[in-house]
Amino acid sequence: MSGTLVLAADPMLAGDIGLVEVVLTLAKVVVAFAFLLVAVMLMIWFERKLLGGMHQRFGPTIAGPFGILQTLADGTKLFFKEDLVPDRSDRFVFKLAPYLSLIPAFLAFAIVPLGGDFNNGGQVEWWGRTTYLQVADPPIGILLFLAMSSVAVYGVMLAGWSSGSKYPLLGSVRASAQMVSYEAALGLAVASIVLVTGGLSTHDMVVAQAAEGYFGIVPRWNVIVTGLVPFIVFMIAGTAELNRPPFDLVEAEQELVGGFHTEYSSIRFALFFLAEFMNTITMSAVIVTLFFGGPAGPVLVSEVGGVGIAWAWGVVWFFLKLFVLLFCFVWMRATLPRFRYDQLMDLGWKALIPVALGWFLFLTALEVGRERGWNEAAVTIVSLLVFAGAALLLVRAVRSGRRARDREAARADEPSDPVEERA
């Protein structure tokens, strides 16, 4: 690494950049882009079909075999609908907003490793160039994902604000509050991963998880290494970040018509819809990368007819894991009822952030103890005691705060006695 600007840790881009490198990068971009679009199409169909099943319905059946082309039909219909821009809207921002939520969804996907044989470093060799099977591996790695999910808030917020209408505004106010709140918990969960990996690069994270596991069978996935808690926090915060049920207060149909996209129609509405499902896929892919070892997995057949296909197994494992996570997202949607707004805020600020922060400090203590050669058991016990003490204090603080609020409310409710007041 010289003093020049490092665009990516990808070995292909380390040397001179010629035509082959540019073509390879472009090809990766196009493939990832196409994959995302097709995946969104299938995801919407899959979600509707699965939700239908869980409601004992059929779901889409008519368009194509098993209704698989339903999304295509819906999309085509949306393209030909009239594109309305409300009179009282801020026209420029109104038109900008869908792209602000769509483009981050694309960009965040760029850092996800899609394949490669991670038993041997996860590199593939094409046309004499060694490269990674991911669009980009920037040194800031996972921070790009956090940055993009922050930018996506603007899409939702500006959409509601620029509509010049009340329900979208309410929806977008909820959205920005919710997404900002859960961003913190999300970041703290990621911090735990960064701590155990020792780097931000997503490629390095997968390499670290592909290492020899425990007892020979349990993989060294971060979900186990970090002790499950960051994963649960990330899963919940991620669902909230996606505005998916049970955290879909942003577009709560019963309360807010359609939430932030009430005033959107035609292609602009389709873009929001696309962004929403693309975010779901991206979030699942990031969870797979962070917690479930991404494309890391055993290579069952290393070559067919003299052509090495070890890298393809990475793709297979990646998609299997992705599929399981997407199933879980739909499953959660079918099962959990929507949160009330104050419950949502309570969960974010009073439960997830303290737990994520506490667990992060606990992991840090373990790490430091390991470095200094302290007794691991003692570190664990002391840490857990501190953890429990802090939790107790927090619970007491929350409870006394609630009591004070209740007293205040009770006092306000009491009818005032005019005689007493005069005295």
Q: Looking at 61, 120, 302, 343, which residue binds other proteins (CB under 8 A)?
A: 61
Q: Is there a contact between 44 and 71 (Cβ–Cβ < 8 Å)?
A: yes
Minimal distance, residue 71 CB to other proteins, in Å: 18
Residue ranges in 332-371 that form contacts with other proteins under rule CB under 8 A: 334-336
Closer residue to other proteins, CB minimum distance, 60 or 238: 60
Q: Which is nearer to other proteins, 56 or 416 (CB)?
A: 56
Nearest approach, Cβ of residue 325 and other proteins (Å): 15
Q: How far is the CB of 83 from other proteins (least distance, A)?
A: 23
Nearest alpha-carbon partner for 251 in 240, 264, 262, 237: 262
Nearer to other proteins, 250 or 330 (CB): 330
- The token pair that represents 299 in the structure block: 């290579």
Residues 291 and 190: their CA atoms lie apart, in Å, by 10
CB of 339 to other proteins, least distance (A): 12
Would you tell me the crossing angle of helices 229-241 and 353-372 to the nearest 10 degrees?
Answer: 140
Single out the segment in contact with other proteins by CB under 8 A; choices: 222-230, 262-270, 327-335, 387-395. 327-335
Number of shown-chain residues binding other proteins (CB under 8 A): 13
User: Least distance in Å: CB of 171 to other proteins?
Assistant: 26
Minimum CB separation from other proteins for residue 68, in Å?
15
Q: Which is nearer to other proteins, 55 or 403 (CB)?
A: 55
- Residues sharing a CB contact under 8 Å with residue 110, sequence separation 6 or more, in sequence order: 29, 32, 134, 135, 136, 144
Residues 253-282 that bind other proteins (CB under 8 A): none
d(CA 350, CA 300): 46
Which H or E element spans position 123? strand 123-126
CA pseudo-torsion sign 331, 332, 333, 335 = positive
Q: Which residues contact 315 (CB under 8 A, 6 or more apart)?
A: 114, 115, 133, 295
Cα three-residue angle 183-327-54, rounded to 5 degrees: 115
Judged by CB, which is closer to other proteins: 195, or 328?
328
Q: Please report how close the Cβ of residue 289 comes to other proteins at its closest, in angstroms.
A: 25
Kind and range of the H or E element at 303? strand 303-304
Q: Which of 99, 214, 323, 331 binds other proteins (CB under 8 A)?
A: 331
Name the residue with tokens 């059946």. Answer: 61
Per CB under 8 A, the list member of 7, 37, 38, 62 interacting with other proteins is 62
CB of 56 to other proteins, least distance (A): 5
Q: Is 114 in the site for other proteins (CB under 8 A)?
A: no
- What is the number of residues in the chain? 423
Cβ nearer to other proteins, comparing 4 with 56 = 56
Q: Which is nearer to other proteins, 316 or 334 (CB)?
A: 334
CA-to-CA separations, 140 to 7, 137, 188, in angstroms, rounded = 10, 8, 16
**For residue 302, which of 312, 316, 315 has the smallest C-alpha distance?**
312
What 3-state class would DSSP assign to 308?
strand
Q: Which is nearer to other proteins, 58 or 126 (CB)?
A: 58
CA distance 46 to 52: 10
- Interacting positions 39-58 with other proteins (CB under 8 A): 50, 53-58
Minimum Å gap between C-beta 233 and other proteins is: 16
- For residue 239, the minimal CB distance to other proteins (Å) is 13
Binding site for other proteins (CB under 8 A): 50, 53-58, 61-62, 331, 334-336
